[in-house]
């Protein structure tokens, strides 16, 4: 049976080969020395790096204190030949390489995805409230607001609240590192499976509240049309925001 590959940010591929092909193509879209400046490529690599750290445990976590950016560089092997690969620059300025092949083929414990889901659940009500408030304050006569990507008016049901930068995955990674859970998420942090529980939550409400407060301080939100060409949002890793959505 083919092995499905899933990342914490929700991206998935039906087989290992499909995932390997995706990251091989991603690698070859960038020149040596270039920063991965497409925000969706960045988030895929961030999810892949979490998978790596969950699967490869014979060294310190590659994510460290959090990620600033990813780059393509040549890895010189024994002074004889060089192959391109991904490097990560951490928030503290340190850098390291990692193998996308090892990351895809590894066997992670899966807690990174559950942690991501718990963080999403912790702020879901805040995001809905912020969206409602934004439309109340800035809606036109038809109740529409401009899409931050296209400038076209968009109705509430057609709109999506987007984490412009840092992305939501970036916020989750930084929060995990700050809590000291970069290598592993301790037992008891997340809820165990239960009847009628559709997603993982934080077991301790204090952890959920801590993420809510961090998200409130760090998130930069915008309204985008659900049907807008997502490639427009990917052109800049750190996009310019025309109309930020206030959380409170």
Same domain, 65 and 116: no
Classify residue 94: in a domain, yes or no.
yes
Domain count, the chain: 2
Same domain, 119 and 68: no
**Mean pLDDT, residues 186-198 taken together:** 74
Cβ contacts of 136 within 8 Å, gap of 6 or more:
none
For residue 235, what pLDDT is reported? 62
Same domain, 9 and 120: no
Question: What does the block give as tokens for 209?
Answer: 């509240």
Question: What is the residue range of 64's domain?
Answer: 5-105
Look at residues 57, 73, 105 and tell me which one is the last residue of a structural domain.
105
Of 39-53, 62-76, 111-125, 221-235, minimum mean pLDDT range: 221-235
Classify residue 32: in a domain, yes or no.
yes
Look at residues 88, 105, 122 and tell me which one is the last residue of a structural domain.
105
Same domain, 82 and 120: no
CB 86 within 8 A of CB 100: yes
User: Cα Rg for the chain, rounded, in angstroms?
Assistant: 19
Same domain, 116 and 229: yes
Classify residue 172: in a domain, yes or no.
yes
Q: In what order do the strands lie in the sheet with 67-77?
A: 67-77, 81-90, 95-98
Classify residue 129: in a domain, yes or no.
yes
Classify residue 144: in a domain, yes or no.
yes
Look at residues 47, 77, 105 and tell me which one is the last residue of a structural domain.
105
Same domain, 121 and 216: yes
Same domain, 95 and 22: yes
pLDDT digits (tens, 9 = 90+) for 140-173: 999 999 999 889 999 999 999 999 888 899 999 9
Question: What does the block give as tokens for 47?
Answer: 């999810």
pLDDT digits (tens, 9 = 90+) for 65-81: 889 999 999 987 665 66
pLDDT > 70: percent of the chain: 91
Same domain, 64 and 150: no
Same domain, 80 and 116: no
C-alpha dihedral (25, 29, 30, 31), degrees to nearest 10: 110
Classify residue 238: in a domain, yes or no.
no
For residue 238, what pLDDT is reported? 72
More confident residue, 107 or 26: 26
Is residue 28 predicted with pLDDT exceeding 60? Answer: yes
């Amino acid at each position: 049976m083919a092995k499905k590959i899933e990342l914490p940010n929700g991206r998935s591929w039906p087989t290992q080969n499909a995932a390997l092909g995706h990251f091989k193509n991603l690698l070859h879209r960038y020149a040596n020395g270039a920063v991965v400046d497409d925000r969706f490529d960045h988030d895929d690599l961030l999810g892949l790096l979490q998978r790596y750290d969950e699967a490869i445990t014979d060294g310190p976590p590659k994510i460290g204190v959090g990620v600033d950016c990813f780059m393509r560089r040549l890895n010189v092997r024994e002074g004889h030949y060089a192959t391109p690969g991904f490097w990560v620059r951490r928030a503290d300025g340190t850098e390291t390489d990692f193998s996308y092949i090892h990351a895809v083929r590894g066997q992670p414990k899966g807690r990174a995805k559950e942690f991501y889901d718990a963080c999403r659940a912790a702020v879901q009500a805040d995001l809905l409230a912020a969206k409602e408030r934004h439309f109340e304050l800035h809606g036109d006569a038809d109740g529409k607001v401009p899409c931050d990507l296209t400038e076209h008016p968009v109705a509430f049901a057609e709109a999506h609240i987007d984490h412009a930068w840092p992305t939501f995955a970036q916020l989750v990674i930084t929060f995990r590192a700050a809590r000291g859970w970069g290598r592993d998420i301790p037992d008891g942090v997340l809820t165990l499976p239960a009847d009628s529980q559709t997603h993982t939550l934080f077991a301790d409400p204090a952890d959920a509240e801590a993420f809510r407060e961090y998200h409130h301080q760090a998130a930069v939100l915008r309204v985008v049309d659900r049907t807008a060409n997502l490639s427009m949002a990917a052109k800049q890793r750190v996009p310019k925001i025309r109309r930020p959505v206030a959380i409170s």
